[in-house]
Structure 1
């Protein structure tokens, strides 16, 4: 039983790694196309510079190279390949030619436009070849006479028996994807890791300060949460349980001389115990709502919307589960935002949109209230920002006077 479970786990892990590699390769194919177009433009501009007519375009293309390099770092970060960005590079031609960062980014551009394009094309074509060959027996009767029976362009199928052999080639494509997919993804990203990262002489003070601030925000958010739980237990549940104890003691003393009074006290004690249990459940839901484990983030947010004081509609697209910490943070953001809308906005409607794309979770809350939301006004936005900062995420708030208010949150949700 243990070996069977281990085998299933290994297969699932291989499939997951292969799919992640294909997503990374296809994404790299997109940036490789941009790199190729930019490389051709730079070569043409360099030729024009020899004639003295392309110098004005050089800063534009240098900025485009830096922007594409930033995009590639962000794309790889979504796939778990963290690349520390160097200091901003110059865009003036003479300064850029003497700048090591610019020279390394240009080397990456040339490599990605060739090697990255080739590996990305393989990541795009291999699954298409597999699907085409595995479905060929179904499509064979519709194929024109003399057409190729394989995705590689060789062989023809003149009978059902010959057509039924083609899916064996699809098995080979799938084996290549499972065996070589992760390696191709690493090969495609290797030039970026080597050339787009900060050099050994780069000052990382800003990045260290950013990580220190993020860690401090996470600790502050944790401390605030602990204080909230302590207050809830001390001011609510503990008082209820003390009341239960007092009432039970009084009922025990009265049971002999005044049974009716003792029964009344017991009823009050039962009511206080039920209230204490309800408050304990509320505290537990505040720590990590059980509905997240039972129904996932989509079901939990639908429950929040159904219980919202302001009519709320949801648009949730989550192809797969996020880590528990990310789901809990997204749930907290939406719960706090809906509370703020009900208390402060005067809105008639609110919309919650949630998307999970490329390892990033995006949460957007729109309301048609009077606007004017401000973090300094004690509206709970500070708590949201601290919790998101703990995930190295960002919060964007648009709330002009008169409304509407749009709260957007984005943070990593990769495993």
Structure 2
């Protein structure tokens, strides 16, 4: 029984991937048409000016398929000099993309269309016996692909046959559709590892920078706040010791000030400790900690958390700080009237989404802490995307790996 369910699930997954491949095949078809237009215009010299745009469209379409197939993507096509353009045209990756393009635009489209037509035909024909009597007689002549089928239950059986074809050939059709992309768009041997090493080197450097920035923040908090308070306490206690015998009233006033300074220093120490790893995460979990942030936000904030169980402490702390910084930005910079935070666990990824209806135009280089958020997320091999057009709204999406 388990194997039957696995086969059915594999068939459904194959249909979904075939339909996704149909979308990228349509994109490849559009890029192929544009490259053909550029080639025709090249006969009169105008197309040479359009070659860079055609190559960038080719790379964008190929990268869309790489994302679908989870294949590492190369960098963007350079757009500066003619020498760089000549180097791009000699590049093996570009040549492999040019070989992939017509294959996916033809074979990928045909197979993807079959992946869409089979389940649609199955649903239509299997339910036909229940609604055929609603059709006018002249339209009541159903067909199964190229053959006209007589009788409603025969049509229903034809739909069952479509389902059997999906189960039998769906995964094979998916492999046929994905074969050009997996063989022609994959990086050459060794490039996969080298790109991964480069990515890990960059994220490691970002993690070290984020760690150093965090240490500097803690040092400034202790030096400018707590240390000054303790120095004040020490000075006041010295004044108390000198005045306790000759001027008890002054001594009592100095003791009161020393106590106030000590309480402020203790409060600042607690704040620094909470900023290192908020105890509320250990006490109330991620949902409770985020509820506290949403409740104290300067604008009305809706919170939805769907995270069964607990994630690693470092992941929860990162999610907490990301939401805290994002809501702080919403309050200080966005001019928003409402905000929303959604947190969900999808497999081995913790997904965060923060929305606000403010003025938009958020910039990572504008000193709003967004660059620090990106560094912290990338240090965990996560993903950070920001959509903040001028005029708003602003949407921040974060993915963090949290184990299975």
Shorter chain as denominator, the TM-score bin is: 0.5 to 0.7
Determine if the alignment matches structure 1 residue 127 to structure 2 residue 119. Answer: yes
Q: Which residue, out of 350, 361, 370, partners 2:338?
A: 350
SS of the equivalent of 1:82 reads coil
Q: Which residue, out of 274, 282, 285, partners 1:284?
A: 282
SS of the equivalent of 1:175 reads helix
What's the offset of the Cα at 1:393?
A: 0.3
Using a 3 Å threshold, how does the CA distance of structure 1 residues 179 and 411 change in structure 2: closer, same or farther?
A: farther
The answer on whether the counterparts of 1:396 and 1:408 sit within 8 Å (CA) in structure 2 is yes
Determine if the alignment matches structure 1 residue 152 to structure 2 residue 142. Answer: no
What's the offset of the Cα at 1:163?
A: 0.8
Partner of 1:386: 376
Using a 3 Å threshold, how does the CA distance of structure 1 residues 171 and 70 change in structure 2: closer, same or farther?
A: same
Name the CA distance, whole Å, in 2 between partners of 1:82 and 1:29.
18
Name the CA distance, whole Å, in 2 between partners of 1:112 and 1:370.
38
What's the offset of the Cα at 1:116?
A: 0.9
Name the CA distance, whole Å, in 1 between partners of 2:19 and 2:309.
22
Determine if the alignment matches structure 1 residue 26 to structure 2 residue 15. Answer: no
Using a 3 Å threshold, how does the CA distance of structure 1 residues 62 and 138 change in structure 2: closer, same or farther?
A: same
Name the CA distance, whole Å, in 2 between partners of 1:369 and 1:32.
37
SS of the equivalent of 1:352 reads strand
What's the offset of the Cα at 1:151?
A: 4.0
- Specify every segment of 5 or more residues in structure 2 that has no aligned partner in the other structure, as ranges: 219-277
Name the CA distance, whole Å, in 1 between partners of 2:7 and 2:359.
49
Deviations 1:216-237 (A, max 9, x none): 7679999x9xxx9xxxxxxxxx
The answer on whether the counterparts of 1:362 and 1:411 sit within 8 Å (CA) in structure 2 is yes
Using a 3 Å threshold, how does the CA distance of structure 1 residues 35 and 347 change in structure 2: closer, same or farther?
A: closer
TM-score by length of 2: 0.62
Deviations 1:29-66 (A, max 9, x none): 11211212322332343244345453333332222112
Q: How many corresponding residue pairs?
A: 333
Partner of 1:365: 355
The answer on whether the counterparts of 2:59 and 2:76 sit within 8 Å (CA) in structure 1 is no
What's the offset of the Cα at 1:106?
A: 0.5
What's the offset of the Cα at 1:102?
A: 1.7
What's the offset of the Cα at 1:67?
A: 1.8
Equivalent runs, 1:10-409 vs 2, <5 Å: 10-76=3-69, 81-85=70-74, 88=77, 94-145=86-137, 147-157=140-150, 162-200=151-189, 202=191, 205=194, 207-214=196-203, 282-285=280-283, 288-289=285-286, 307-314=295-302, 332=320, 335-337=323-325, 340=328, 349-352=337-340, 354=342, 361=351, 363-366=353-356, 368=358, 382=372, 385-387=375-377, 389-396=379-386, 406=394, 408-409=396-397
